[in-house]
A and B are shown apart, each in its own frame.
Chain A
Amino acid sequence: MKVLNIIETAYRATLEEQDDPVVWIIHAMKGAGADHDVLLRGNAVNYTVMAQGVPPLMFGDRVQKHAPRIAEQVAGLIAKGVQVMVVRECLAARGIGEEELMSGLTMVHQAAVPKMMNGFDQVWHW
């Protein structure tokens, strides 16, 4: 079974979970043999920007270690053979240039997405 994961909501619980929980569960399922691809749209296209960082997090004297490194986690999916697609129009709407992105991504046009879904057994919209 091949699944397309459309990730649209971005930075959901990333500080509390030290990652994006959707990217995390795809990593975990991939490790268990699942066949996944990913389409990033909406605000989630920012996950592919390399020059992003999280400032230190501190409450009172409690220092939180291990800030999330979202771009690295997405790049890790590509390294595992997951095709990570990005909707061009969503990048353009946010003023994000392709030169800012990690390598290994597949750019797709919004209009091509419905037809592309035919290549998957299931589509999960996160």
Chain B
Amino acid sequence: MMGKKTLTFMLMDAPFENARTTTALRLIDIAARRGYDINVFAYEGAVYMPLAAQAKHANAVHGHDAAQEDHPLPREWVEAVMQETARNGGKFDWVNCGLCVDERGAAEAIPGVRRGSPADFWKMAGASDNVLVIPTK
């Protein structure tokens, strides 16, 4: 059996714009199911991923009202992987880059998200078994 790991993910893309956000969360979800300790440092547009104000909407092109559409919200996905980590005995630490938050006015995040700096990412990386950087292309 593999021992408990600590993984750090650096995410950079804003949600709703490419496939990397979903791919990153899929990888994090696998780690969560294994009970790993998970660190995420959200840099640049990625600080929008846990934005509390994200809201579902209807979609006339799809012919759905808001309930039928059940629009994906990355804040719910982030919350779900946090809960999955806790269920499996892992620790989850999501740090939003503070300066990135300020320049975007993205301060209202879901519970469990804290404000930090690149120094936090440096500490996370040094204390991890591995680090995966998923940058904006």
Tell me whether B83 and A16 are in contact (CB under 8 A): no
Tell me whether B21 and A16 are in contact (CB under 8 A): yes
Instruction: Give which listed residue, A13, A58, A66, contacts B16 with CB less than 8 A.
Output: A13
Question: Within 8 Å CB of A61, what residues of B?
Answer: 80, 83-84
Instruction: Give which listed residue, A24, A31, A62, A65, contacts B80 with CB less than 8 A.
Output: A62
Tell me whether B81 and A18 are in contact (CB under 8 A): no
Given contacts A13-B18, A18-B69, A60-B32, contact A27 B80 (CB under 8 A): no
Given contacts A65-B70, A66-B69, contact A15 B80 (CB under 8 A): no
Does A2 touch B at the CB level, under 8 Å?
A: no
Does B29 touch A at the CB level, under 8 Å?
A: yes
Tell me whether A16 and B22 are in contact (CB under 8 A): yes
Interface centre among A12, A14, A24, A66 (most CB of B within 10 A): A66
Does A64 touch B at the CB level, under 8 Å?
A: yes
Does B119 touch A at the CB level, under 8 Å?
A: no
Q: Which range holds the interface residue count of chain B?
A: 20 to 34
Interface of A is mostly: mixed
Tell me whether A57 and B22 are in contact (CB under 8 A): yes
Docked complex: A38-63 residues within 8 A CB-CB of B: 57-62
Does B1 touch A at the CB level, under 8 Å?
A: no
Does B15 touch A at the CB level, under 8 Å?
A: yes
Question: Within 8 Å CB of B15, what residues of A?
Answer: 16
- Residue in A closest to B78 when the chains form the complex, CB atoms: A59
- Residue in A closest to B61 when the chains form the complex, CB atoms: A27
Q: Please report the C-alpha to C-alpha distance between residue A87 and residue B72 in the assembled complex, in whole angstroms.
A: 32
Tell me whether B84 and A64 are in contact (CB under 8 A): no
Tell me whether B29 and A60 are in contact (CB under 8 A): yes
Tell me whether B76 and A62 are in contact (CB under 8 A): yes
Q: Beta-carbon contacts of B60-92 to A below 8 Å, as 1s and 0s?
A: 111010000111101011011111100100000
Question: Within 8 Å CB of A64, what residues of B?
Answer: 70, 72, 77
Question: Within 8 Å CB of B82, what residues of A?
Answer: 60
Question: Within 8 Å CB of A15, what residues of B?
Answer: 19, 22, 72
Tell me whether B81 and A59 are in contact (CB under 8 A): yes
